[in-house]
Amino acid sequence: AERPRHQAMAKNTNLRWRLPLVCLLWEVAMIVLFGVFVRFGSEADAHWEEERREMNLTSDIENDFYFRYPSFQDVHVMIFVGFGFLMMFLKRYGFGAVGFNFLLAAFGIQWALLMQGWFHSFKNGKILIGVENLINADFCVGSVCIAFGAILGKTSPIQLLVMTLFQVTLFSVNEYILLNLLHVKDAGGSMTIHTFGAYFGLTVTRVLYRPNLEQSKDKQGSVYHSDLFAMIGTLYLWMYWPSFNSAISEHGDAQHRSAINTYCSLAACVLTTMAFSSMLQKKGKLDMVHIQNATLAGGVAVGTSAEMMLTPYGSLIVGSISGIVSTVGYVYFTPFLESRLHIQDTCGIHNLHAMPGLIGGIVGAITAAAATEDVYGKEGFIKAFDFTGVYRTRTPSVQGGFQAAGIVVSLLMAFVGGAIVGGILKLPVWGDAAAENCFEDAVYWEV
Amino acid sequence: AERPRHQAMAKNTNLRWRLPLVCLLWEVAMIVLFGVFVRFGSEADAHWEEERREMNLTSDIENDFYFRYPSFQDVHVMIFVGFGFLMMFLKRYGFGAVGFNFLLAAFGIQWALLMQGWFHSFKNGKILIGVENLINADFCVGSVCIAFGAILGKTSPIQLLVMTLFQVTLFSVNEYILLNLLHVKDAGGSMTIHTFGAYFGLTVTRVLYRPNLEQSKDKQGSVYHSDLFAMIGTLYLWMYWPSFNSAISEHGDAQHRSAINTYCSLAACVLTTMAFSSMLQKKGKLDMVHIQNATLAGGVAVGTSAEMMLTPYGSLIVGSISGIVSTVGYVYFTPFLESRLHIQDTCGIHNLHAMPGLIGGIVGAITAAAATEDVYGKEGFIKAFDFTGVYRTRTPSVQGGFQAAGIVVSLLMAFVGGAIVGGILKLPVWGDAAAENCFEDAVYWEV
Amino acid sequence: AERPRHQAMAKNTNLRWRLPLVCLLWEVAMIVLFGVFVRFGSEADAHWEEERREMNLTSDIENDFYFRYPSFQDVHVMIFVGFGFLMMFLKRYGFGAVGFNFLLAAFGIQWALLMQGWFHSFKNGKILIGVENLINADFCVGSVCIAFGAILGKTSPIQLLVMTLFQVTLFSVNEYILLNLLHVKDAGGSMTIHTFGAYFGLTVTRVLYRPNLEQSKDKQGSVYHSDLFAMIGTLYLWMYWPSFNSAISEHGDAQHRSAINTYCSLAACVLTTMAFSSMLQKKGKLDMVHIQNATLAGGVAVGTSAEMMLTPYGSLIVGSISGIVSTVGYVYFTPFLESRLHIQDTCGIHNLHAMPGLIGGIVGAITAAAATEDVYGKEGFIKAFDFTGVYRTRTPSVQGGFQAAGIVVSLLMAFVGGAIVGGILKLPVWGDAAAENCFEDAVYWEV
């Protein structure tokens, strides 16, 4: 009863100087780097009035702000409320779920604005930002939130900040390789966000394997109210996913189409999730874990192809399959990964992001390879795949091949990057808790 | 203590094969029907680029997506979070409230896209969909969510899916009669959504009358936290209702006006609800049931007239009255309906949707009948009521008469349809629970 | 144990006739005043079709509805869910927090439409309203929600309605002085909303000082679940603040820029808040009070300058500082204010709104004074500060001086107005509870 707990008790989780130091140093670094590099893009700059006239735009409504801001806000809600509340299912880790997600995302978007800015918005020595950069920063951070799901409850906030720093960097490199070097389409991020983020997180949690985690098994479950809070996260992710997949698509039909495809895929996914959740339990009862997670797989699985001519029924098929795969994953794969591969995946991101992300990449490759001028129209075909300039002569089947290569690159980046970052996080200086104190807010929060 | 409960215990609520079968069969049917019928509308199709030029549209911002997508997302939140959380007030039925609402709505929107598509978007053998179809599908499902409120806690998910199938069908027929045959205006759906949905649900719950429901009376109340969760639903419904009533109004002034009228009506409704909630309780204390529900009656009651020149003060009057009627309904009518008419209305939809829906239909008829060219302007008058083609010569007073006829048709469809569907749901094969197990998540969920 | 409690028990908190009387009388007054004064603005009026053609607008998308409605809805969520849930942190006052906020805001927006309308939208004897008026009404009510935070749990709903009546009036006068007489810029309301609202509320709570408040000290804290509900409020305020600060900025670049500046400031604010929250606690643990509140200070502190060329790194600096000031305020200032100055500030609005509001006013004055034609462009410079008409010759440094004067005027209005309104609220007729019954829903709600 006196808890004479060996080396575990020796762990120092007092972050009084370490956490402030990391937060403040990094924020100062952000200020300096923003000061040197970041400026308003032309549509957010006070010179816009003059530029607008030069560009012969007749109205302020042509400002990209009005095309993308509503979608941006939906994505923003997904990152902060969606992920934050979805991870609130743990009975004693609600503060950590929503609070650490808040912290890492707030840091991550700043660093992402810089990293992605250097790769994509760099002009005359300055990064010029607008609403599209804000969306992309949220996207990048989304991949960190996904990885966070694997290590939820087992890491200190400093570890999360360190992981964010590295993962945002790797994300940006991977994204650059895919979008610019391979000229791959991935508007909703099946590959760049989900596949990369999930396998990165799974690799990290493998490296951080805790053999004695059953010491905190009692805290790893949910209670009635924590499940209801988690449903807030689920529903906002589910409802706004059409905005997510369409947020950075081309203006006009592409944005419109992405939203419709995603809407259809998600609707179908709910039905197959419910079906398999009931079927795989002896008494036919539904499991909230499946409803909270697998219903979202349909959004992940059309992330690459949503802006293509996937068609509504194609979306229903993809959504249906991904709901089944994800639910089966929760029942069979998660226990297997833990017992055999020593991958402790708190939120089951393998089922919600990794497998559906792979499906998404594959569906994207197939849809691209199957594209024809007949289906897209002559102009639409060129516009949809940006077959201009040096890519003028690329054919759909070649594009499909590059799309498939994008999956492989994302996986490699995730495994190698995750292994290195996992190693760094294993250093005994970051203030993580002993196995017996995992999944417990009292370690880092005044409760 | 051994609960030797007679026939009640005999009820088989194990859905292990029935629920998966229904979900999977229906999803396959959706895929087949979508494959045969559903295609992207021109504004979501990759040919849009060419079409846009032909139509002389100078900018992508003219795509209907940018006129309606923000409203669509608000409506989407109302259906899934609004209704889902509003029904979470029951202390032991939170999973069922939000989870079954999720299930029936996800199925319903697919079936609604087809049903409404055949009636309104059918062209050359194909249903061509765009963002407006998504909104209309959500609207249609809204009427099912309303009916769900009456039978909440007393039905199995299979019954809900069966009800959704039939109700979406009947909704679409009724909507077609009103909008196309009677040429009635009902942008916010006072008649098509609320009146129809509520009386349909009340009829169903009458047919499914459970004489022994007092056996689960202890579970039919709320607890402190479930009331707070329900307020999430209330507030999102309240805040986004201006988007609901304006979502499919004509571009420009009509959408703008609908939002303002609804905003005014809802604001007034809150004050009269609070006033009567306090007045009708001996100690003057406020009742959360009223605040959660009657504050929304103002949105329902301007559903038909919001896009007309109801004027802000007209909206205040309508909102004030509907808040009073709804609150009085909760105090006096609901107990009366249950004890005398054997209508067990779990959420009190008679007070929130049925009576305010009727008010909405009547206000709409009066507002239409009172319309003049002076108030609307010559062009605005024609545009507001679509007095073109064969309706070129229709006068406001005739329009008012047709509006009133729309109420009657909606009521008839609701009563007849509800009676038939209620009869179907009474078949002893759908896995509903015994009276003593109503309002209890443990029946269908792993808790 | 028998609670023989003196004069305290004598307090009559039965509002059965008083609350209904106030609500109904005031709603009738609203209806009459709306009937006399309020009409649709041209963009919401059915004559718009004709007017549009006269104005040579080629598309309905030019209607202000499409520029501002998405921002309006975000602001709307901040007022009703943001403030309502943020104040839900008290363990026994959740109904009061969200319910009374709902009541006062619903009344306040109606009265604000009139008050602000008379000052800013009055034409030929009528107030012409559109979406911008709805946003401004929400803004005005925001300042009342802030003041509510200081007196939360200690006042009756009637007192709140009386305060709302007066505060909305004073807000509108102050706003008129700043915007029209001083020609000051304050799009996000650092001065008009936050500085005014907070110091008004602090003055009111000072006048209403309760020496025996420690009698309800046990109820003044939070519990685990109430803190999670409060995080819903925090996150929605945080996510939508970019919409708040940009909602009424000029179309185009100004709206775009406001959103970016606010996004940056808020992101930085989270990191410094976390840093100081950990640093100021002996064991380095994070305090939910800080995370719930101080993370928002960055939004307040760029309220005036967000639409100016503050630049992203400028925003990071302002956000960083305001997070530190606000967190330090919670730890040191709030106890000081209570013990020495007898200012009982339930939510700590001094830390979240008052000090960051002052910072915001000062940063705005400096940013305006530092403006140059070089940075803004010739046209952008004139447009940003509206240096037209009689203000044609105003220089940036003079503008900076007027901005600073705006802070002083707002403070004076708050102190004088708060003292008078506090005195009115002290009259023993409004039904407030005894000190021992503060922070307790059971007084005004059926629990």
CB contact under 8 A, C23 and B274: yes
Check pLDDT > 70 for residue C6.
Answer: no
Sign, CA dihedral A195-A201-A204-A210, equals negative
> In this predicted model, what pLDDT tens digit does every residue of C214-225 receive, in sequence order?
999 999 999 999
pLDDT of residue A11: 83
Compute how many other C-beta atoms are within 10 angstroms of the C-beta atom of residue B54. Answer: 7
Q: Which of A46, A102, A225 is closest, CB to CB, to C253? A: A46
CA distance B9 to A419: 55
Amino acid of residue A67: F
Confidence label for A58 from pLDDT (cuts 50, 70 and 90): confident
C106-159 pLDDT, tens digit each = 999 999 999 999 999 999 999 999 999 999 999 999 999 999 999 999 999 999
Looking at residues A136-163, what average pLDDT do you find?
98
- Contact criterion met (CB below 8 Å) for C168 and C107: no
Q: Which of residues 207-266 of A touch B (CB under 8 A)?
A: 224-225, 227-228, 231-232, 235-236, 238-240, 242-243, 251-257, 259-260, 263-264, 266
Read off the pLDDT of residues A186-209 as tens digits, 9 standing for 90 and up.
999 999 999 999 999 999 999 999
What is the percentage of chain A residues whose pLDDT exceeds 70? 98
Q: What is the CATH number of domain B65-426?
A: 1.10.3430.10
What is the total residue count of chain C?
Answer: 447
Best C313, C324, C375, C387 residue to mutate vs chain A (most A CBs within 10 Å): C313
Would you give the distance in Å from CA A73 to the centre of its chain? 16
- Please name the residues between 359 and 378 in chain C that touch chain A, using a CB distance below 8 Å: 375-378
C-facing residues of B in 122-161 (CB < 8 A) are none
Q: Which helix (H) or strand (E) holds A173?
A: helix A157-176
- Containing H/E element for A119? helix A94-120
What chains are in contact with C, requiring at least 3 Cβ pairs below 8 Å?
A: A, B
Contact state of C272 with A26 under an 8 Å Cβ cutoff:
no
* Contacts C275 to A, Cβ<8 Å: 19-21, 23-24, 27
| Strands A38-40, A126-129: pairing kind | parallel
Cα separation, A161 vs A22, whole angstroms: 8
Strand partners, C286: A445
Number of CB atoms found within 10 A of residue A283's CB:
12
ipTM comes to 0.96
Residue of chain C minimizing CA distance to A38:
C312
Q: In the predicted model, is pLDDT for residue A10 greater than 50?
A: yes
Using a CB-CB cut-off of 8 Å, the residues of chain A touching C251 are: 60-61, 63
Q: How far apart are CA A172 and CA A139, in angstroms?
A: 11
Of A46, A103, A446, the CB nearest to C380: A46
Whole-Å CA distances, B299 to B230, B243, B303, B307: 18, 10, 6, 12
Is residue B251 helix, strand or coil? Answer: coil
Could you tell me how many CB contacts below 8 A there are between chain A and chain B?
A: 212
Least confident piece of the model among A428-432, B130-134, B425-429, C10-14? C10-14
How distant, in Å, are the alpha carbons of A346, A428, B380, C84 from that of A343? 9, 20, 65, 41
Residue A415: burial class (beta carbons within 10 Å; 0-12, 13-18, 19+): middle
CB of C63 within 8 A of CB of C51?
no
DSSP state of A194: I
Give pLDDT tens digits for B78-100.
999 999 999 999 999 999 999 99
Selected residue with higher pLDDT from A56 and C9: A56
Q: HEC profile for B168-181?
A: HHHHHHHHHHHHHH
- Annotated domain spans of chain B: 65-426
Amino acid at A343: I
List own/partner pairs for A123-128 with CB under 8 A and 24 or more apart: A125/A37, A126/A37, A126/A38, A126/A39, A127/A37, A127/A38, A127/A39, A128/A39, A128/A40, A128/A41, A128/A42
Tabulate helix, strand, coil % of chain B (nearest 5). 75, 5, 25
The residue with tokens 């609005």 is C349
Residue range A347-401, pLDDT digits in tens: 999 999 999 999 999 999 999 999 999 999 999 999 999 999 999 999 999 999 9
Closest partner CB to C46 (pick from B62, B295, B309) = B309
Candidates A67, A257, A278; nearest CB to B19: A278
Determine whether A293 is exposed, middle or buried from the number of CB atoms within 10 Å of its CB (0-12, 13-18, 19+): buried
Cβ burial B278-312 (10 Å sphere, 16+ → b, else e): bbbbeebbbbbbbbbbbbbbbbbbbbbbbbbbbbb
Contacts of C316 in chain A (CB under 8 A): 27, 30-31, 34, 110
Cβ(A205)–Cβ(A146) below 8 Å: no
Tokens standing for C64? 């202000």
For residues C443 and C447, give the distance between their C-alpha atoms in angstroms, rounded to a whole number: 9
Q: Is-contact C112 C129, C-beta < 8 A? A: no
Instruction: Tell me what pLDDT residue B10 has.
Output: 60
Q: Cα separation of C41 and C245, whole Å?
A: 23
Helix/strand/coil for A45: coil
- Is the Cβ–Cβ distance between C105 and C144 less than 8 Å? yes
CB atoms within 10 A of CB C123: 11
Task: Note down pLDDT in tens along chain B; length 447 residues.
Answer: 444 444 445 689 999 999 999 999 999 999 999 999 999 999 999 999 888 988 888 899 999 999 999 999 999 999 999 999 999 999 999 999 999 999 999 999 999 999 999 999 999 999 999 999 999 999 999 999 999 999 999 999 999 999 999 999 999 999 999 999 999 999 999 999 999 999 999 999 999 999 999 999 999 999 999 999 999 999 999 999 999 999 999 999 999 999 999 999 999 999 999 999 999 999 999 999 999 999 999 999 999 999 999 999 999 999 999 999 999 999 999 999 999 999 999 999 999 999 999 999 999 999 999 999 999 999 999 999 999 999 999 999 999 999 999 999 999 999 999 999 999 999 999 999 999 999 999 999 999
What pLDDT digit, counting tens, does each position of B376-428 carry? 999 999 999 999 999 999 999 999 999 999 999 999 999 999 999 999 999 99
Give B128's strand partners. Answer: B39
pLDDT tens for residues C92-118?
Answer: 999 999 999 999 999 999 999 999 999
CA distance A84 to A81: 5
Starting at the earlier edge strand, list the strands of the sheet with B122-123.
B38-40, B126-129, B122-123
Would the CB atoms of C16 and B272 count as touching at under 8 Å?
A: no
pTM as predicted: 0.97
Q: Is C401 exposed, middle or buried (0-12, 13-18, 19+ CB in 10 A)?
A: middle
Mean pLDDT of C286-298: 98
pLDDT of residue C58: 84
How high is the pLDDT of residue A49? 87
